[in-house]
Structure 1
């Protein structure tokens, strides 16, 4: 298992394309050098197995799951990594990888199930929802981030290497009430390789007013303007997220696994 130089990250793209429906957007963010991360491969020139991670401890493993030497090296790396009590969340590419990971870790990590949705423009609503009175929509900016109670500065430091990097590559929208309080937000948690993944939240007391749908529509429209495909992932038991995804044109959920360190 060898660490690739940033200038060689592109070499893993053929492996990622093979897993395109289950390859999370953060992987492309790292490979495209939009956010900082690490890329390991079994070969520096023609990789067939890869481990790609962000600096905040989220990883993806894919490619040839029968590569025993790589798998053993990966587990050794994991033991050293977690000895520092660092975060470890692993996205699996396939069901075969699920089996390999379970065998390697033997109960040391929890397995969870998530859905990855496909966006279909034909299922996207033609009639847009209207914002009720007493609220305004703003683009996410330094000012709105300071006002936010959820997607705060720490969020963008964790996922985007800082607010300035988000404002350079990412985008989002929020709903603000007359008291200058951010009540609902939709932001790009990751962007890369023509994909933009949605992260969306509404304060509990403002649920049911359609804010999430309105912001989701604005986000999708912005993706279309920038030539990006919007992405939607969520836990399989997140019913509200699944329903909202369907309203916005996200269909054909594919189930995949993530593994979380204990």
Structure 2
């Protein structure tokens, strides 16, 4: 059975995460983060498997082949955690996996989880040494320290506060040292930040970074990222950056600043809503050019839509920006890749009938352009 470890005993399990030392969050949550957490183990005296629970994340390390523990954990997730997370309005749970074996065995715990490929970067020297000169007129870079608490009037203050609370609460103590830098426009609005997180006893640190959508692609992430990296290099043993392999903007920013890619690893996620899960599985299958699998997931989404299931009605991903006609369009691309022209035509015409009219996306679809003649393409464009 799973057993909950007392806080005083958290360090009993720290060695179970040694295979992922570059993921500071494992160690930092056991050593020092102030956020509320639970640690489940297989044995209180001599634990061989441990799970750190920090909603909406689970950090799993140690043995992955203890079937009794895995089944107990599965029941705990189904009957305790997922209901709790739903109450907290979370839509999914993320699994940070402590070793290669857990990457394989996570399906024993949650059958329909899926993997994300991730990159880990470290910085030894920054490339943008003149970052101060790049700050535009009307903008200013400020340290994330006690002076931040004097700026609670700034627009988007809650945005940066939410990010730093997990690591530096209470802020009156945590911000006695610099915890990153943020960019302010006209002394009115916080538009970007890069903050430090997951400090370990061995003085390793990681950074998180974000820019408001309306201010992206203007170099602001590079500015606050360079400021923070420069500070971290002078203070910490190592400074890391994690991001998804598909998050091209993030890892390109990291490399622009001077972070170097160290390795790749995987994490897993499970989405509560079935329709959302199928949309994600279809997307990843399509990314891997597995069009048969992708088509099967998209067809399940469409069936759910036709039946007006609760999962369809409550879907997070199917909304005003991504409606069911786009699912039909993506399914038509899958059939095109499979060279099933009859099904492609049937599904594509249904997409257009439902209101699909993204001419740019249609014209850029290599899969459809390979299947249809120029005359056929023109006919579909005219019908949108």
What is the TM-score of this pair, normalised by structure 2?
A: 0.59
- Asked if the contact 1:34/1:169 (under 8 Å) is kept, the reply is no
1:1-262 matches, within 5 Å, as 1-21=2-22, 23=23, 25-35=24-34, 36-54=36-54, 56-79=55-78, 80-84=80-84, 85=86, 87=90, 88-107=93-112, 109=113, 111-121=114-124, 124-125=126-127, 127-129=129-131, 130=133, 131-140=135-144, 141-144=148-151, 146-149=153-156, 151-157=159-165, 163-164=171-172, 166-167=174-175, 171-193=179-201, 194-247=203-256, 248-262=258-272
Q: 1:126 to 1:175 in 2, by over 3 A?
A: closer
Flag the structure with higher strand content: 1
Q: 1:242, 1:145 → 2: CA distance? A: 31
Q: 2:123, 2:195 → 1: CA distance? A: 20
Q: 1:226, 1:44 → 2: CA distance? A: 37
| Structure 2: tracts of 5 or more residues without a match | 273-384
Q: CA deviation at 1:217?
A: 1.9
Q: CA deviation at 1:17?
A: 1.6
Q: What CA RMSD, in Å, does the superposition of the two structures yield over aligned residues?
A: 2.6
Q: 1:14, 1:103 → 2: CA distance? A: 23
Larger radius of gyration: 2
Q: 1:148 to 1:234 in 2, by over 3 A?
A: farther
Q: 1:220, 1:64 → 2: CA distance? A: 35
Q: CA deviation at 1:12?
A: 1.2
Q: 1:146, 1:166 → 2: CA distance? A: 20
Flag the structure with higher helix content: 2
Q: 1:41 to 1:128 in 2, by over 3 A?
A: farther
Q: 2:187, 2:177 → 1: CA distance? A: 29
More RCO (CA 8 Å, sep 6+): 1
Q: 1:5, 1:165 → 2: CA distance? A: 25
> Which range moves more in the overlay, 59-68 or 94-103?
94-103
Q: CA deviation at 1:75?
A: 0.9
What is the TM-score of this pair, normalised by structure 1?
A: 0.84
1:214 match: secondary structure: helix
